[in-house]
Structure 1
Amino acid sequence: MNKEKIIIRDQLIETYADVYTKEVLDALEIMAPFNREVKKLMDIRMQRRKERAQKAIRIDFLNPEARIPGSDIRVKDARAGNFEGAMVPADLQRQWIQGTGPGAKPNAPLENSIRNVAYALLSGADGWMFDGEDALGQVNTMSLDNQRNLKLAIQRSPVFLKVAESVAAQMNAWSQSFFGEEKISDWRSQLDFTTKIFRARGLHLDDRHIELTGGISFSASITDLTLYVTNNYRALMDAGSSVVLYLPKIQTAEEAALWNRLITALENHLGLPIGTVKVYVLVEQLEATFQLMEIRAVLGKHFVGYNTGRWDYINSVSDALSWDPDFINPNIESIGMTYGYMRNYEDRVRRAVNTPDANGNYALWQGGMEPNIPVGSEAGVRSSMEKALAGAAREQREGASGKWVAHWKMVHIVRPVWQRVGEPNQMGRNFPPLGYSPEDAAGLVLLEEAPRTIRGARNLLSVGLQYGNAFGQGMQAAALKPADFFGNEDVLYLMEDMATGEIRLSILWEWLHKKAIITESDAASGVTAGDVFTLELFEQLLVEEYDKLLKASSKDVHESSKTSTLPIARRILEVYVKESTKIPWFIDLLNINLNNFSQKEAEKRIHMYVKQLKETGQRITANLDFSA
């Protein structure tokens, strides 16, 4: 591969010299040629999506006799476990609870921003997935702040240790009030308890700070992989820790094979044995569930486990079947992990990780996200925590080796579910082998009867608007709830990230364009059970829910946002839901408006995106404000 010239915008190479070190810049130059492969696979992905919609084709299993694209492995060998996988390293053997969240805050000085990392590493979680993707804001230089903070924490810098000591005292004060005891006895030793994991951005995203010669946008996946591993592998390995990544939004084994080549190339460049970097894969896309063993096989010595989650996966199912007039999701609250297609998805994942590879190795299954936060009225917290524990107990019974929580306060509430059982993991549990029949395929898109209500539509709209607003403010993870429940302490805020925003708009799009039938009457909006969700109804509810946000206190909707990012969020939601050509990613429209507070400019950018998507089938993923 010929080397390509890396261009870093403005003076960031000097401002973030501790992130863009010479070693990192050398590695980026080596990795740059892979950018063409990423772009090619994303073009293939969009073409595949277009053809399925045009020809009304559902996703199906691969031909067992074929070779997996991008590899030398046959599909039938992958399914049979005839490949060399990875042994799960010691610090991943027990991952009862993994926390997740970003390692930086928007527009915050270092000592404030790095507190996020301190909360995580003092939480008592077995692992913490520091998010570079769905929960990390991308305004200004947040992605670089995230990398800097993680490097400082992993290297145990004085600034981090100072902050950690202060944070430990605060966390103990909360624990004393909630549990009746302190949870951190020795904050310094506690910092070594949690395995550090990093989630890179998906292949569908571009970095905001790097371009290649000629104004070619550069893969965020390559950027995140290169910066995190190159900056931290020595310190992690010197401390006896594994180098671990979460890989998101993979749709096919061909895309996973590209990830494998990326990781292998970086390991070779850094002089690391192949398989040094370990990866979990988030099963967030419907198509991936048709290729679980194939994905596992092509990642080979790097792969340690799958994670199942709710939000992104629902969105992917909705998007994959956007062409099908009969596939209409119910209220989002009805689509839990035991619902129709979700139940079958989870079952396939647990079967896949418990299929042994050629050396008898199994893989981990990490369960889904617990979005509740124990903040609210006594009754509200009690009710929500009961639901959280019931959900965790169900996943443990079903075979998960652990689950995620979205806030450090939840770690010691949920972790005892696995701690009481005492086994480090559930690898090797006996489940039936994976099937590849038409019935198996049908189960992955199985709808079950559930309500579609005006209350459900209001919840989708209100939180969708708030999320778009929070994104523009630099908070890609935010504690939100529908406006009708502002001030009601019995209804708790839930941690929402990019994935929850995506699915809310996707369901609204379905209801409008597929003429969803409302199942319950609603006197306030003049709707009778059996009525269709019309454009007029959508516009009426949008006006009403938006007005509630304008009248909300600054606690729920920052006053300054009501004349800046909130109206832009409204316009994005409106365009996304109304467009007959379904926009593939809500995040695209948000990303092209990052750091933009002009309604006029937002209109221009949204129009440009929609026009290009319709005329060429291409998304706009570059930073429109890039300045060399």
Structure 2
Amino acid sequence: MDTTTDRSTTGRIRITATAEGQERVLTEHALAFLLQLHDRFEPTRQHLLQVRRQRRAAFADGADPGFRDETRRIREDASWRVAPPAPGLEDRRVEITGPIERKMTINALNSGAKVWLADCEDASSPLWRNVIASQVNLQDAIRERIAFTSQEGKEYRVTAEETPTIVVRPRGWHLDEHRILVDGVPMSGALVDFGLHLFHNADELVARGRGPYFYLPKLESHEEARLWNEVFVVAQRLLVLPQGTIRATVLIETITAAFEMEEILWELRDHAAGLNAGRWDYLFSIIKAFRLRGPAFVLPDRRSITMTQPFMRAYTEQLVRACHRRGAHAIGGMAAFVPNAKDREATERALAAVAADKAREAGDGFDGSWVAHPGLVETCREAFTAVLGDAPHQLARTRDDVPVDGAALIDLSTAEGSITEAGLRSNVEIGIRYCEAWLRGHGAVAIHSLMEDAATAEISRSQVWQWIANESETEDGRTITRERCEALVAALEHELERHEGDRFDEAIALFRETALEEAYPAFLTLAGTERYLGEGTRRPSTGSIPVQPAPEGSAPEAGERGFEDEALEAA
């Protein structure tokens, strides 16, 4: 079936896939809005992506990241602050994350968390049906009309009296949306996710006492934050929204961003809501940046790299200092454990570890933290309430005792732990199992009682690549070679539980390409999208996400709103 359609009145936009609910999302006015964003900001995005590649090459040649001299005045000026907390973002002591699947959306809204991070990025596979369903589900959740009935007949509805504030995480700057082409060029996935949510939901959110709020992933510099701020300013003008209506929390999940935290807040200051310690992507970024720098930059097993490691402590404490010095919230990292009712003893041990981790964050000055499962909400809340009490945050605790120490951020020699056979096997298994689920459309996957997403899969495959490249040894003295890892892949291949419609063959090929080949792809998800997902139309949908039409008599769609910019209306 030919799924190519021309949906733009200008004839410039081609949409090359179809999904249920698409007509509600890709309205003529919504596409015109996206076209405006694309035309204004795509050249800058491409330039910044080239800067990323140049910086990455410099690190491989021996350069170290550091604080930038040209922005010293921003760091040394103690007078400036970001905007005060926006409605619904004053108290963020527990935030739950997850993909915007219909059932999981309802579970998140019923979880009791203060904030729900509605994730279009690392917890979501970018199949076209997911891209569209995420926008449909956001529309319905915000308008309190979301419901879901499973194949077994179980009904899911929002029953909580108070639901979390919704904060949407769009895709990163590096990802294209290749199902929406402008003059044959893919749109930015980030602008598609951001633009569709803002266009359809901003007015409704404001009317309900909240606002369009975002988490910004994978930023590598304050220039990339500046681009987002320029997008916000233009988008608010086009949609006749007061400047500052949009608020954004930035994930500090790259080693370069760790050296530019205050500059990032400065660039976004009228729209800034805080910074988050994106611990898993941060580890991935460190491995990626220093993968060719020799044994001194090789890290031990992933599970031994806890937040108490000195270089991770330096990262989190300097993040709290930067945030509170500027009046911004500091949000802690992910608790990825998935409670298992069948193993009560293991669950109790894991909950105790989560409680200790959250107590450490609260004690360090964080204002809230993340969990990946509703069963962890209460544990996180208790840890932060023990420190915060009835106060919504601890912004007044500026952590002036924390030194601004760039050397501590990249001193990996202090990392404790070793590389084990079990750790190597785990990386291979997690990488392959996650890739298989991701290719079938699942971005958050429970593997051995841990919620794995794209960030943890990136760590797994990157560690394998780095260990091979540096001829690292496991603690038993055996060198990690490509042949040894291929043998582990072959052994796992025989142990996998195959089922109809699985994509293990492609997942193994993707893992080999990104972990075992000499060339190192910058992103697993980028390689996977380009080679295996294509336009999202090559394989039939298996178990498509149910989408319920808007009820009759509901509020008019955002496509009927007016525009300030006459050129946009004409488009």
TM-score relative to the length of structure 2: 0.86
* Whole-Å separation in 2 of the counterparts to 1:116 and 1:420: 29
- The alpha-carbon deviation at position 437 of structure 1 amounts to 5.5
- The alpha-carbon deviation at position 7 of structure 1 amounts to 1.6
Q: Please, which of 165, 177, 183 is the counterpart of residue 207 of structure 1?
A: 177
Which residue number in structure 2 is paired with residue 332 of structure 1?
302
* Alignment pair present for 1:543 and 2:490: yes
- Checking the alignment, whether the CA contact within 8 Å between 1:472 and 1:565 is kept in structure 2 is yes
* Alignment pair present for 1:518 and 2:474: yes
* Alignment pair present for 1:364 and 2:302: no
- Checking the alignment, whether the CA contact within 8 Å between 2:97 and 2:372 is kept in structure 1 is yes
* Whole-Å separation in 2 of the counterparts to 1:6 and 1:366: 41
Give the SS at the match of 2:513: helix
Q: Which 5+ residue runs of structure 2 have no aligned equivalent? A: 1-8, 540-571
Alignment of 1:98-113 (within 5 A): 98-104=95-101
Which has the larger displacement, 198-207 or 24-33? 24-33
Spell out structure 1 runs of 4+ moving beyond 6 A: 166-171
Alignment of 1:112-511 (within 5 A): 114-157=102-145, 160=146, 190=160, 192-213=162-183, 215-326=184-295, 327-356=297-326, 362-375=327-340, 376-421=342-387, 422=389, 423-432=391-400, 439-440=407-408, 442-443=410-411, 445-481=412-448, 493-511=449-467
CA gap of 1:282–1:437, structure 2 versus 1, over 3 A, is closer
Q: Structure 1: which amino acid aligns with 2:196?
A: L
Which residue number in structure 2 is paired with residue 93 of structure 1?
90
Q: Please, which of 19, 36, 51 is the counterpart of residue 30 of structure 1?
A: 36
Kindly, what percent of the aligned residue pairs are identical? 27
Give the SS at the match of 1:36: helix
Which residue number in structure 1 is paired with residue 568 of structure 2?
none
Give the SS at the match of 2:480: coil
- Checking the alignment, whether the CA contact within 8 Å between 2:83 and 2:271 is kept in structure 1 is yes
- The alpha-carbon deviation at position 161 of structure 1 amounts to 5.3
CA gap of 1:406–1:280, structure 2 versus 1, over 3 A, is same
- Checking the alignment, whether the CA contact within 8 Å between 2:318 and 2:404 is kept in structure 1 is no
Q: Please, which of 587, 590, 599 is the counterpart of residue 525 of structure 2?
A: 587
CA gap of 1:381–1:435, structure 2 versus 1, over 3 A, is closer
TM-score relative to the length of structure 1: 0.79
- The alpha-carbon deviation at position 323 of structure 1 amounts to 2.1
Q: Structure 2: which amino acid aligns with 1:99?
A: I
CA gap of 1:134–1:167, structure 2 versus 1, over 3 A, is farther
Which residue number in structure 1 is paired with residue 499 of structure 2?
559
- Checking the alignment, whether the CA contact within 8 Å between 2:521 and 2:527 is kept in structure 1 is no
Alignment of 1:33-112 (within 5 A): 33=39, 34-53=41-60, 55-63=61-69, 66=70, 74-83=71-80, 85-104=82-101
CA gap of 1:352–1:418, structure 2 versus 1, over 3 A, is same
- Checking the alignment, whether the CA contact within 8 Å between 1:340 and 1:446 is kept in structure 2 is no
CA gap of 1:43–1:162, structure 2 versus 1, over 3 A, is closer
* Whole-Å separation in 1 of the counterparts to 2:31 and 2:534: 29
- The alpha-carbon deviation at position 99 of structure 1 amounts to 0.5
- Checking the alignment, whether the CA contact within 8 Å between 1:78 and 1:297 is kept in structure 2 is no
Q: Structure 1: which amino acid aligns with 2:106?
A: A
- The alpha-carbon deviation at position 384 of structure 1 amounts to 1.3
Which residue number in structure 2 is paired with residue 487 of structure 1?
none
CA gap of 1:442–1:14, structure 2 versus 1, over 3 A, is closer
Q: Structure 2: which amino acid aligns with 1:430?
A: T
* Whole-Å separation in 1 of the counterparts to 2:137 and 2:468: 43
* Whole-Å separation in 2 of the counterparts to 1:140 and 1:304: 30
Spell out, residue by residue over 1:137-173, the C-alpha distance to the aligned partner (whole angstroms, 9 max, x if none).
Answer: 222321111001110111123xx25769x999879xx
Which residue number in structure 2 is paired with residue 606 of structure 1?
none
Give the SS at the match of 1:17: helix
CA gap of 1:291–1:31, structure 2 versus 1, over 3 A, is same
* Whole-Å separation in 1 of the counterparts to 2:68 and 2:175: 26
- Checking the alignment, whether the CA contact within 8 Å between 1:5 and 1:29 is kept in structure 2 is no
* Whole-Å separation in 2 of the counterparts to 1:88 and 1:409: 27
Spell out, residue by residue over 1:559-586, the C-alpha distance to the aligned partner (whole angstroms, 9 max, x if none).
Answer: 125xx51111111211222222321111
Which residue number in structure 2 is paired with residue 530 of structure 1?
477
- Checking the alignment, whether the CA contact within 8 Å between 1:139 and 1:594 is kept in structure 2 is no
- The alpha-carbon deviation at position 594 of structure 1 amounts to 4.2
Give the SS at the match of 1:559: coil
CA gap of 1:403–1:6, structure 2 versus 1, over 3 A, is farther
- The alpha-carbon deviation at position 409 of structure 1 amounts to 2.5
Spell out, residue by residue over 1:333-383, the C-alpha distance to the aligned partner (whole angstroms, 9 max, x if none).
Answer: 111111132111111101101113xxxxx1111111111121231112111
- Checking the alignment, whether the CA contact within 8 Å between 2:220 and 2:256 is kept in structure 1 is yes
- The alpha-carbon deviation at position 78 of structure 1 amounts to 4.0
- The alpha-carbon deviation at position 431 of structure 1 amounts to 1.1
CA gap of 1:595–1:420, structure 2 versus 1, over 3 A, is same
* Whole-Å separation in 2 of the counterparts to 1:15 and 1:94: 34
CA gap of 1:261–1:509, structure 2 versus 1, over 3 A, is same
- The alpha-carbon deviation at position 245 of structure 1 amounts to 0.3
CA gap of 1:512–1:428, structure 2 versus 1, over 3 A, is same
Q: Structure 2: which amino acid aligns with 1:410?
A: L
Q: Structure 1: which amino acid aligns with 2:293?
A: D
- Checking the alignment, whether the CA contact within 8 Å between 1:462 and 1:546 is kept in structure 2 is no
CA gap of 1:389–1:434, structure 2 versus 1, over 3 A, is closer
Q: Structure 2: which amino acid aligns with 1:419?
A: T
- The alpha-carbon deviation at position 191 of structure 1 amounts to 5.2
- The alpha-carbon deviation at position 441 of structure 1 amounts to 5.2
- Checking the alignment, whether the CA contact within 8 Å between 1:140 and 1:595 is kept in structure 2 is no
Q: Structure 1: which amino acid aligns with 2:455?
A: A
Root mean square deviation of aligned Cα: 2.7
Spell out, residue by residue over 1:249-301, the C-alpha distance to the aligned partner (whole angstroms, 9 max, x if none).
Answer: 00001111111111111011111122110000011100000111011100111
Q: Structure 1: which amino acid aligns with 2:338?
A: I
Give the SS at the match of 1:91: coil
- The alpha-carbon deviation at position 436 of structure 1 amounts to 5.3
Give the SS at the match of 1:92: coil
- Checking the alignment, whether the CA contact within 8 Å between 2:445 and 2:452 is kept in structure 1 is yes
- The alpha-carbon deviation at position 392 of structure 1 amounts to 1.2
* Alignment pair present for 1:7 and 2:4: no
Q: Structure 2: which amino acid aligns with 1:390?
A: A
* Whole-Å separation in 2 of the counterparts to 1:586 and 1:397: 35
